[in-house]
Amino acid sequence: MAQMNSKPLAGTKVVEFTHMVMGPAAGLVLADLGAEVIKVEPIGGDKTRRLKGSGAGYFAMYNRNKSSISIDLKSSRGAEHVKALINGADVFIENFRPGALDRLGFGYEALSASNPGLIYCSEKGFLPGPYERRTALDEVAQMMGGLAYMTGPPGRPLRAGASVIDVAGGMFGAIAILAALQQRASTGKGQLVSASLFETTAFFVGQHMAQYAVTGSPAAPMPARISAWAVYDVFDVRDGEKVFVGVVSDTQWQKFCEAFELSDWLADESLSKNNERVARREELIPRLKTLFSTFEKAQLMEKLERVGLPFAPISKPEDLFEDEHLNANGGLLDVVLPDGGGTKLPSLPVQMDGMRPGLELNPPRVGEHTRSVLLDLGVTDQEITELSALNLIQCE
């Protein structure tokens, strides 16, 4: 699939002071849509670059299509140049603890005083309220926001297997930024916008809050839930694999029974409606387990696809590198990592006018663009050399 030629956010300049996932994810959305995003890193680089274990992929995934400048913000000369950069920006994104940037002179009041049109996005643990000074992480938000309770079995809260709240919080921040840019087009004024981990989690579990309001019964954790559909489960198949199968409408039930020659179920009028099937789930599932165990994975999936029923193999993240669909339509981008290695990583999951956002810049090396960005600000080569010698900037 072709990648975008015309970038929707071309001409929009973004400066970000971000680390980990939430802030970088907000910048990534804007960068992939064509904004010029300049990542300001401390001397030595964003510590996210050096994370191990589950954090080892954070920087590579959420920092493509960005430039990197490395500069000492605690020095007056370094801060002066970065403020000049922000004065020419449309958007500023940060995800540091409340008050941290105010103490360095990079709070909203200070920056908007010299750039009234600036959209200043703060990605935080909590929006204003009793918790706003607390330190938060994705896992903290999932635990206190009810998502971990809903994910794990009863009595065993379990965070989701990816940084879903960090990423979604970044997305909500990007949505707020886009709305503020649209509003600025008519008012000429910038504004402070915020997104947060805790409120994002509450939004995610809102469906379960609404369930309680509608039914009067608390939502059970997902492993113990009463499914809305009788056939909506993972089944073992003959070759030791597993396949998820769902039948979520009365029409699908009829097609399912016909395809698998379940004539007695098809003739049973008491099974023709979904709610009646749910009530008899304990009768239906054992028979389906036996039936599906006679199929190999590919055979069962081919049959379900032909009939038009929901199904899925149980994939691991590393399986997606070879996924035929992602590889066929621009869903994976060929990326060169800061250490020189190459890989494929997911593109922004949107399509506009038949085209997908692509890759313009690989995840940057520390300070890869320091010199070029400072030169664009009018800083001389001589001063850049002097700043580098004083360890106030880092150039690649």
pLDDT in tens, 179-228: 999 999 999 999 999 999 999 999 999 999 999 999 999 999 998 888 88
Residue 1 has pLDDT above 60, yes or no: no
Range(s) of the domain holding residue 264: 227-316
pTM score, two decimals?
Answer: 0.94
CATH number for the domain spanning 350: value is 3.40.50.10540
Q: Is residue 323 part of a domain?
A: no
Domain boundary, last residue among 267, 285, 316? 316
Average pLDDT of the segment spanning 361-386: 97
Give the Cα separation of 392 and 388 in Å (integer). 6
pLDDT tens digits for 125-138? 999 999 999 999 99
Q: Is residue 172 part of a domain?
A: yes
Which residue type occupies 368? E
Q: In this predicted structure, what is the pLDDT of residue 3? A: 67
Evaluate the CA torsion angle 277, 280, 282, 286 in order and state its sign: negative
Same domain, residue pair 368 and 286: no
Task: Transcribe 316-334 into DSSP letters.
Answer: -GGGGGG-HHHHHTT-EEE
Give the Cα separation of 377 and 380 in Å (integer). 9
Q: Is residue 212 part of a domain?
A: no
Helix or strand holding residue 340 (H, E): none
Task: Count structural domains, the chain.
Answer: 2
pLDDT tens digits for 38-90? 999 999 999 999 999 999 999 999 999 999 999 999 999 999 999 999 999 99
Give the Cα separation of 1 and 392 in Å (integer). 44
Contact 299, 30 (CB under 8 A): no
Helix (H, G, I), strand (E, B) or coil at 53: helix
Residue 396 has pLDDT above 90, yes or no: no
Same domain, residue pair 138 and 21: yes
Q: In this predicted structure, what is the pLDDT of residue 285? A: 96
Domain boundary, last residue among 261, 282, 316? 316
Q: Is residue 256 part of a domain?
A: yes
pLDDT band at 391 (very low <50, low <70, confident <90, very high): very high
Residue 100, Cα to own-chain centre: how many angstroms? 25
Sheet with 242-247: list strands edge to edge. Answer: 231-236, 242-247, 311-313
pLDDT tens digits for 287-323? 999 999 999 999 999 999 999 999 999 999 999 999 9
Average pLDDT of the segment spanning 8-23: 98
Calculate what percentage of the chain has a pLDDT beyond 70. Answer: 99
| Phi, psi angle pair for 8, to nearest 5° | -55, -35
CATH number for the domain spanning 262: value is 3.30.1540.10
Give the Cα separation of 374 and 255 in Å (integer). 65
Average pLDDT of the segment spanning 266-276: 95
Same domain, residue pair 42 and 156: yes
Query: Per DSSP, what are the bridge partners of residue 191?
Result: 119
